[in-house]
Structure 1
């Protein structure tokens, strides 16, 4: 082998010196084109007889081409590594800072498979090599020093292969990008000191670790303290933000209502009675609300439970003529209901200042009737306030019932009575207990004294007194008196009858004409309607429905 290597080295020295600066593909092409000489088999056979420890001696039959190429690469590596004796043997492969050659020679698996046993030092550092750990190097199991530092190797380090190198005493994997591993062999790190793995990626970067420790132990506590401080400041000014996150649906806390009304400021107080204070408020989400605070406290648990159950019912009401109840507050110190805020005046102010036409008054009466009928049919336990000062108007002129309460009874007579009073208020622009200094019964009695002889006194004199308006207002007064006649409860009109009367009057008010005639036949009262382009409708009336001077016109 020695004589062959010397001869081969002399033959190829000129060729090898010429290909060193040539790019990698040319070297690979030259190796592929070279063929072993005819006596190459005899040469390696003699070499194995003289030195059986040569690696290719254990490979039978011989792969002559691989062994031949390995010999050429060995000679070339010996030359470029500046070894003192490249004929007999060489101890070191030095590809340090040879970024064009190192990747090429790492790709020669056949060389590492048959690498000379004299090689004990491999240095492939500072080449910016990429990819996984070059495992072919482990064919040279006799190596003592291995330097792969300052490259871009990635992936796992083959710990088992390193552990199987008994002669390896110096290892340098620093400044690479290997993966962290929790399965590293402890014995491996007893053989090598920490300088072997500086910034190798195998262990967490101490600087990064220190930074993380700094973040966790210093920055995070400061951040938490700042956030807690900001939260305390925010909650001190708007405690409803915190409590609102944990409240149940429809339930408001005192802090939420306090924040919505600026601490129940007098500037937010929009109404007041002996038992209720009404506030305007703005919730955290920007919703404008009407907050009714009840002055009477409920100390008994049963009373508070009844109040809360009633509020749950009110919060389920859904109708275009009802103000929506958003929720309630029920604590020992504060009891309130929260409903949506509706801009606009109430009907009492509207009647007094706007002098609305009969058509617009009819629209309000029909709207309130629809709301009352909804409550009567769907929620009979809910009572509502039908005073004109409790009825609101939205931007479209649609009336809204704004005040409710839950009653154990289902007093339909009382509801019809209240609606009758509302009709009389709408026609006359007068209110019980105010312009007539008496009770509601006295208010109704005053209407009876003037109806029908002086019914003109009962109609708002500011309205334009067209014949059709007078007739329809007169019929509305008659309907109101029928609804408020508690002496003949059994003869009160039903809600269907009331609806029919108002819907007909409303349609005629919109049409602006009325061609009705009334007469009596066989002792039974009838109402006959002579509509243009329509057939006559005839509706039977009970002759005992009222006193003689009243006519119950189902219009």
Structure 2
């Protein structure tokens, strides 16, 4: 019965291979449907009595169907492998260059589990077999030769599973795609030379190793240098695209200033003088800024000094100082970036004839800024002129145009303050007097003080009433002592500040009853006085 079933299976198999490869599935189905004959159990038992080493001898009743199918597949495989006398001896499995049937036989796991002991050679080369290593073959532990070369096998080779193959003397795994493995560390594979593993992926590719070494030793340092250079370029040239944690907080790039001013457009140009252009700009965070660009070419040493000065100026922090946000010294562009002020300067503000009380308030704020610089940053000088002191939108004075390391003496600063006090009272600039000089302006004041002080006081102040004219006269007296550089009678900053604070307090007390007093303004003044 077994021989009849085998013959039928052989016919089906020959048809499937010769004409329609898809019928190979019917071969598997036929095998699954086969059942061993009734006397098969006794046949197996007799075989095991004669040769107990047979692989199926430790069988159970549930193993009989697979043992039966294994004998049928063995019969077919023996013929396919061109063994001379299959009935007597099945010595080799030779399916090289048989890509249509080799995968089918590999799929018969039950055959390899009960592999005949007579098989000594297995050759499945040149079959384009894909997937993982067919570990079932290693059930045939008695073999002397195994050739799986010229296939598309991949993944790991089960090196530990080779240990039972003690008789294996010829092994060929060449021309596959296995994962690199340290087979040299396994004593079993020491018996084979490198020709068994040519282009198998198992042995280290020394050529690839050399290429990797060259890339590592030469390419990696070059990569590091390029990356450092690229990051350096970003840090110094394109900080606008850097994350905030990597940006230099106060160092602006030409690209950032170009974007802030719409390409330095004419509509954003708000001022221009010899060597300086002033732009209004809007930063990426919507902050409005004033950008002073210096076109004069300077030496590198002066550039370094410029940056050092800017690094100090960005640290200044007071409500009566123009806030310096940063600088640019890159690609031939040198600039200082400060906050934008909407209130103009004191010079333009005085042309609107502001009330006397407002002038005193501006002077108190100005004095507070001077105090801060004197106590905290004595090395920082500033230009105390009506055209240089800016005003915020709420009329807070903002000292600007700072210098570092070239500060004037305290005496010179008091002198400049005296000139500014005279301008605040008279609402006139030194260049407007007949002699067109500060000396002439001072002499004009001195000639009219104290007897004819009304001649130099702004007419709007005289009309204000409430003691404004008397207070203006006191301011002129202070201003004249501030500008007296010969008699060493200049008052200190403390004396000037206390006097102006007292006058401001009086102006609030004498405020016209037709106007409602600002409690906020009074509270701010008391807070400033008490802090001194």
* Structure 1 length-normalised TM: 0.60
Shifted more, 30-39 versus 120-129: the winner is 120-129
Query: Which residue, 326, 340, 355 being the options, matches 2:337?
Result: 340
Matched residue, 1:481 = 476
Matched residue, 1:318 = 317
Instruction: State the Cα RMSD in Å.
Output: 5.9
Residue 376 in structure 1 maps to residue 385 in structure 2 = no
SS in 2 for 1:84: coil
C-alpha distance in 1 between matches for 2:355 and 2:86? 116
Deviation at 1:41, TM superposition (A): 1.8
Change (3 A) 1:349 1:248: closer
Matched residue, 1:176 = 176
SS in 2 for 1:96: coil
Deviation track 1:370-419 (CA, whole Å, cap 9, x = no partner) reads 354255369734465422354368999985422266999x98x9988754
Deviation at 1:493, TM superposition (A): 6.1
C-alpha distance in 1 between matches for 2:513 and 2:394? 33
C-alpha distance in 1 between matches for 2:42 and 2:368? 118
Matched residue, 1:74 = 74
Residue 531 in structure 1 maps to residue 509 in structure 2 = no
C-alpha distance in 2 between matches for 1:125 and 1:363? 103
Query: Quick check: 1:358–1:469 contact (8 Å CA) kept in 2?
Result: no
C-alpha distance in 1 between matches for 2:104 and 2:370? 91
Deviation at 1:43, TM superposition (A): 1.4
Query: Quick check: 1:173–1:196 contact (8 Å CA) kept in 2?
Result: yes
| Match runs of 1:459-470 below 5 Å | none
| Match runs of 1:253-268 below 5 Å | none
Query: Quick check: 1:323–1:340 contact (8 Å CA) kept in 2?
Result: no
| Match runs of 1:288-437 below 5 Å | 314-319=313-318, 321-325=320-324, 340=337, 356-359=351-354, 369-370=364-365, 372-374=367-369, 376=371, 380-382=375-377, 384-388=382-386, 390-391=388-389, 399-403=398-402, 419=417, 421-426=419-424, 427-430=427-430, 435-436=436-437
Structure 2 unaligned runs (5+)? 17-21, 238-245, 253-271, 280-288, 302-306, 328-333, 482-488, 523-532
SS in 1 for 2:7: helix
Matched residue, 1:303 = none
Query: Quick check: 1:432–1:438 contact (8 Å CA) kept in 2?
Result: no
Query: Which residue, 11, 21, 31 being the options, matches 1:17?
Result: 11
Query: Quick check: 1:93–1:122 contact (8 Å CA) kept in 2?
Result: yes
C-alpha distance in 2 between matches for 1:294 and 1:53? 100
SS in 2 for 1:153: strand
Change (3 A) 1:394 1:102: farther
Matched residue, 1:509 = none
Query: Quick check: 2:346–2:389 contact (8 Å CA) kept in 1?
Result: no
* Structure 2 length-normalised TM: 0.62
Structure 1 unaligned runs (5+)? 1-6, 253-269, 273-277, 298-307, 329-336, 460-464, 505-525, 540-555
Deviation track 1:335-368 (CA, whole Å, cap 9, x = no partner) reads xx995368999989966xx994224999898667
Matched residue, 1:33 = 33
Shifted more, 56-65 versus 45-54: the winner is 56-65
Matched residue, 1:212 = 212
Deviation track 1:97-154 (CA, whole Å, cap 9, x = no partner) reads 4445444433333211211112122223344434332222111011122222333333
C-alpha distance in 2 between matches for 1:110 and 1:97? 23
C-alpha distance in 1 between matches for 2:309 and 2:119? 95
Matched residue, 1:543 = none
Matched residue, 2:453 = 452
C-alpha distance in 2 between matches for 1:30 and 1:394? 98
Query: Quick check: 1:171–1:192 contact (8 Å CA) kept in 2?
Result: yes
SS in 2 for 1:340: strand
Deviation track 1:186-208 (CA, whole Å, cap 9, x = no partner) reads 64554323232222221234553
